[in-house]
Chain A
Amino acid sequence: MELERREFVKLAAMSAAVGAASSMNAGKACAAPVDPPPAPDRPDIPGVQWDKAPCRFCGVGCHVQVGVKDGKVAAIAGDRQADVNKGLLCVKGYHVGMILYGEDRLTTPMVKRNGKLEPATWDEAIDVVARRIMKSGKKFGMYISGQSTVPEGYAAQKLVKGALANNHIEANARLCMASAVTGFLSTYGVDEPASCYDDLDACDTLIMWGNNPAEMHPVLFSRVVDRIARGEKIEIIDIGTRRTRTTDQADHYLEMRPHGDLAIANCLMQQLIENDTYDKAFVEKHCNFRADQDPRETAEALMDHDAYVAHVAKKGHSGLFGKPITFAQFKKLVSYYTPEKTEQLAGVPAEQLRMLAKVFADPKRRIVSMWCMGMNQHTAGTAVNNLVHGVHLLSGHWGRPGDGPQSLTGQPSACGTVREVGTLAHALPGGRLVAKQPHRAFCEKAWKLPAGHMNPKPGYHTVKMFEQLCTPTDAGGDIDTVWVQVTNPGQSLPNTKKLYKAKADLPDKFLIVSEVYPTASTELADVVLPAAMWVEKNGVYGNSERRTQQWFKMVDPPGDARDDCWQTLAVARRLFELGHPGLRGTDGKWLFTIEDENGDEIEYWKWENYYKINVDKHLFDEYRQFTFMKHKNVAPYDVLVKVRGLRWPVVETADGEFRETRWRFVEGDDVYVEKGRGFQFYHSTSKDDRAQVWFRPHHQPAELPDERHDFMLTTGRVLEHWHTGTMTMRIPQLRRAMPGAYVEMNPDDARERGISNGEVVAITTPRGEMRLPVWTNGRATPQRGHLFIPFFDESAQINDLTLDAIDPFSKQPDYKKSAAKVTRISEFAPPRQGGNP
């Protein structure tokens, strides 16, 4: 212990001495583990003050205890009081404190003058930004993040959609969650999972749909591995295109072709109906059937699969909510997807499909389906989300503990800040839509804007916004300014050369980037605003299971760095001073006015006053009124202060307590379900309290391998790094463990081409070329003809090569399927005679 103590202090780093005891060693059914000693709640280190915060990284939303000493984060421990992680953290979480202390933190505002970024004062920088926004008018776009806090998102939303009456505000969650959102909306009429993580403690079968939680949601996956280690029988079924560390734990691995998921889900429904094993009572009471078009509108009463597909191809789809179809029509359409047919389409043996259908046919089994980017970054993302919900609805595996579909997020507040606050071009807070007049009217009233002030036309979605930014003005590029906060689009957008880097050649376009480190995004910025991060500011996040989590500022940001939320509000104040009419409310006051008890305005837009009040609390409690309409009631700020998050809807009980909801639409747990109903989908799109079971046909990916590009390239994350690596690559332990990108290849493909492990090859897609070492015996093995490249590495930005095709409903890009070619360098350029290789 002495040695460890010293190590701690020396590294000013992360304690791991705590946590995990509950989940360790519990009779692991394998090579005798060492029994760890029981861990204390948090280590007792002299002079260290502890407080709670959610982890800064992934959507699991673990809680950490943050130890602060001498104004610096000095230790991190898993929070044993947190339901999500019960004291455990993953390798990223244990090191999270060090994200604050990279050597190259941005500490001074920079403004471009004569083509060069130069230091500026905050007053100058804020003024430049405000004047640019004034000038830009409807050509201004704001691009925030699923890592922005709820108050940050709310303030940006109110500024852009409210004050500026400009709907061009988007968040990077468009790139990761949008298809889950459209999937939920078109199935249940309201966004976000009905289930929660508790299901993982109760399921008998866990099905992964293109998901690798062992690396991407490690703490969540450990909940299941723990149960297996304790001797419980849980069947893990992995459906994917590559064998991963998750597959290592699986009982069955169904290796599919890209877009095979569409056929597989249809096949499960075909089998359930054909074998008469679907849940008739559940379907009769709680489901409707839906498709893109209703064949009853034509002469043909029942169309077969091919006729229907041709019909829709001719007529187009009828919008996100589709048209009702009959069960008979549904049955006819899915009957096409026999196991044999599906084997042809998806590449999964018919036998395995029958096995999976039997799992769903068993009414007693409790089944959780889990997915994340595999199903969302998909040009049929909405469709496949619908289908997996459909399989659970049709089989009645829905709404019991351990029994239901569970969509995961990749970012810590994709749900809280983007989906709930509605920081997407078409949305308003609390599930409202810009296109709906009553919804705008509600916002106008709440924000003290004149009636009719807000713009009814949705703004540009992310890909469109950046496309317009990168298109010359005289060629119709009608976005000329984008303000980026808390995200790194220069590396994370698909096809970045087209959608971001092309801005470099357009001098009349303007980028404002609020950041903590130099990134691919700040490289092209005209203004760089140094930002505070994580526990350098107050915050509220909302994780994948509807859990809203609050934390307080614990340390000061370095140098002149300041909160993103303050930056937004300071610009909003400057716009008001410059006379922008949108910033003046109907009461004549600034839209973001906060008054003290005497009714005097608090000048909190001045940085020295910002933390004299809790701005987060004011914004959050103001935002709270928006959450009731769609029954997404968040708890008051002061209640969240006391807990490790609460899952909405949070309802006030008779004795003034606030109670969270674990399972939505389920009688007994969700108070909005009427007595005796069992289940009630009270936001149903068909207004009859039913969920929609969709028919969505299989179709091919947007880009397929051909003779020139004979591989299918997928991208993704790795365990050690979070997204573009701007934070985790600055943590020495994580950088050492995973220092750079590589290309994963099936060993047989490598052998056939004479490529050896470690050889540097050229990867080419129709968008460009990149050189990377091959890893054939790494963490995962792609199927034949497939490649995998992680996107964290700044020095190998694979999104320069990815495709920017999007889902028609969610507008989410498909990063997972780009056609690619592998060339040995020796084939390309013969080595120079006598020179160095």
Chain B
Amino acid sequence: MKCPLETREERVLVAYSSRTLDGGDKELLEAHLQSCSACREFVRGQREVWEALDGWEAAPVSADFDRRLYARMQREVSWWQRMRGRMGLVPVYRALLPVTTLAALVLAAVLLERPSPPRVPPQPVTAQVEGLQPDQVVHALDEMEVLDQFNHMMKPDSSTPRM
């Protein structure tokens, strides 16, 4: 094996130092290390870095991490819940969705058929929920179902730190 330091193949030495060099490459390098003090020195330095990094422990995750996460997820859907309340939607809304979507499309088609109406048409009742797409509502309903499951899973006494 040619000296990795001379052939600019130091990566082999880095891999060896981090113990990710396997098989034949490892044997070849180990044979080379017997006779090359420069490479031995390089590996020694890299191994020191590796060991120094080993000493760096990370702190345990806060015990309330999951609770905070689920609370954030809950907050995200509560907006939809409020919106649903304001619109007076009942749980069968989802079943009616294709119908309402179709109605919206028909209304749009009718409006497009008459590009310049002589007077301003009455505002559709859905104007107050501008930007609320039917699929978003379904999405929010799905979220709520999943979050209901989370609420069952979350136990109030999860006070042990998580490692």
Partners in one complex: no
Interface residues of B, Cβ cutoff 8 Å to A? none
**A residues with CB within 8 A of B:** none
